[in-house]
Structure 1
Amino acid sequence: MRPNILIPPLQIGLGLQLHHLLGSRALTDLLHSLGFNSSYNEVQCFEQCAASSQGTDLFGVSSDSFIKFLADNVDHNLSSLEGLGTFHGMGIIGAATPSEKLSRLIRRDTSVTADPIPLFQLIKD
């Protein structure tokens, strides 16, 4: 394998998982220097390219599909006296039937920055 021609899916996947779970640049770069995963900069570039390529379309859903959105919330430690240390989280998922499993190619573009990504939120609202 020639360097910088192909990004191995196992290495980028492990780098993405580490960044998602821990958010530690030092740990990601340390494991990259040992050859286990992709570098922190490569992980950030992949995340930005994936977010910009997704856009606001629901891919894999045809016009005759039924989509049901499910949401739930969680509250933790609501009975504290001072109101500090509480957590409120919410999650939402969309389930479509019938659906097709699609794989989408994410093009690597180094000119993508984090600036246009919040614009997708404005388009949806």
Structure 2
Amino acid sequence: MLSSMGMCVPYKETDKFEGSVTACTEDTVNSGYVQFVYFNADHNVNTLDGHGTFHAMGGIECVTPFSSVNVDIPVPRNKKVTAA
């Protein structure tokens, strides 16, 4: 709905960007401290048998200091969606 109103990009474009970033082999961090932070979420974990729950996991990359991130490297754009 937000995409049809011009407030965000379509899911297909987001999927292409994710595939392009994943395939990028350039080193975007010159020197600095890099840490990957992951978190998981379980919904409806109070079931007796453990079935029927939803599990999700997400992560981010934290880099410090910001000056060590090379933002001038362009990400080559994939022509098609590679994710399932």
Same-fold status (TM-score > 0.5) = yes
C-alpha distance in structure 1 between counterparts of 2:10 and 2:73, whole Å: 17
Q: 4+ runs of 1 displaced by more than 4 Å?
A: 103-109
Larger radius of gyration: 1
Structure 1 residues without counterparts, runs of 5 or longer: 1-14, 20-27, 32-36, 119-125
Asked whether the equivalents of residues 71 and 92 of structure 1 are also in contact (C-alpha less than 8 Å), the reply is yes
Count of paired positions: 78
Residues 20 and 77 of structure 2 are in contact (CA less than 8 Å); yes or no, is this contact kept in structure 1? no
Measured on the aligned residues, the alpha-carbon RMSD in Å equals 3.6
Match of 1:73 among 35, 40, 61: 40
Counterpart among 12, 29, 47 of residue 61 in structure 1: 29
1:97 to 64, 68, 72: 64
Higher relative contact order, structure no. (Cα contacts within 8 Å, ≥ 6 residues apart):
2
Q: Which has the higher helix share?
A: 1
8 Å contact kept, 1:49–1:107:
no
Q: Which residues of structure 2 form unaligned runs of 5+?
A: none
The alignment-based identity, stated in percent, is: 23
Which structure dedicates a bigger proportion of its chain to strand? Answer: 2
